Chain A
Amino acid sequence: DAGVIQSPRHEVTEMGQEVTLRCKLISGHNSLFWYRQTMMRGLELLIYFNNNVPIDDSGMPEDRFSAKMPNASFSTLKIQPSEPRDSAVYFCASSLRDRGTEAFFGQGTRLTVV
């Protein structure tokens, strides 16, 4: 398996534009996590899915952020409209079962909103 795959690796967009980040889970994994990482705030958990269902979205900063899992192997994180303070590295991670095992991270998407 190629591991968790995120796209794009880098995204530069103008303030107010919609941004969609994509994540492909490791085959057979049933849990999906989205994180945001900045120097100031570290690695923040945004949302957690189990079996395609959002379980904990308390970390989603605002209504401008939304995440979906249209199927068991794919997820998107959308920011609309984007703002400069959304600039960060966004990671997704998957695990084999719930939160009981190690998480495998993707390479991340570096988002810059100008």
Chain B
Amino acid sequence: SQKIEQNSEALNIQEGKTATLTCNYTNYSPAYLQWYRQDPGRGPVFLLLIRENEKEKRKERLKVTFDTTLKQSLFHITASQPADSATYLCASDKLVFGAGTILRVKS
């Protein structure tokens, strides 16, 4: 069955740096991938969607890439801020989610 894998360890970075989160998929070739943000006690909120024929997509300080050869999507937050601290989830086109990566941005 399709599997979405994210680094379960928390990512700690300094304010102003670029955060890079990884999403790998196996047993499946999704037509697109989605990224969500989840804050404690709240439901996930949609951020970006990238299709398999798109190499890169940007939205403000966010950038997502899709590499079908590596079966991987990277999610970047540039000029990170403490307010970016949250759990970031990757989802397949079947809306199967990875475990999420906790991002902590320290000032």
Q: Does A48 have its Cβ within 8 Å of any Cβ on chain B? A: yes
Q: Does B103 have its Cβ within 8 Å of any Cβ on chain A? A: no
**Interface bin, chain A:** 20 to 34
The answer on a CB contact under 8 Å between A45 and B96 is yes
The answer on a CB contact under 8 Å between B46 and A43 is no
Q: Does B55 have its Cβ within 8 Å of any Cβ on chain A? A: no
Q: Does A107 have its Cβ within 8 Å of any Cβ on chain B? A: yes
Grouping DSSP codes into helix (H, G, I), strand (E, B) and loop, the B interface class, with mixed when no group exceeds half, is loop
> A48 contacts which chain B residues (CB < 8 A)?
95
The stretch of B10-18, B37-45, B63-71 that contacts the partner chain = B37-45
**Interface bin, chain B:** 10 to 19
Question: Which residue in A33, A43, A107 is a CB contact (below 8 Å) of B89?
Answer: A43
A–B complex contacts, Cβ < 8 Å, 25 sampled: A42-B97, A42-B98, A42-B100, A43-B89, A43-B97, A45-B94, A45-B95, A45-B97, A48-B95, A56-B94, A91-B43, A91-B44, A93-B43, A93-B95, A99-B93, A100-B93, A102-B46, A103-B34, A103-B91, A103-B95, A105-B43, A105-B45, A107-B43, A108-B42, A108-B43
- Given A4-B43, A56-B94, A106-B43: 8 more A-B contacts, CB < 8 Å: A35-B97, A42-B98, A43-B99, A45-B94, A91-B44, A103-B91, A105-B43, A108-B43
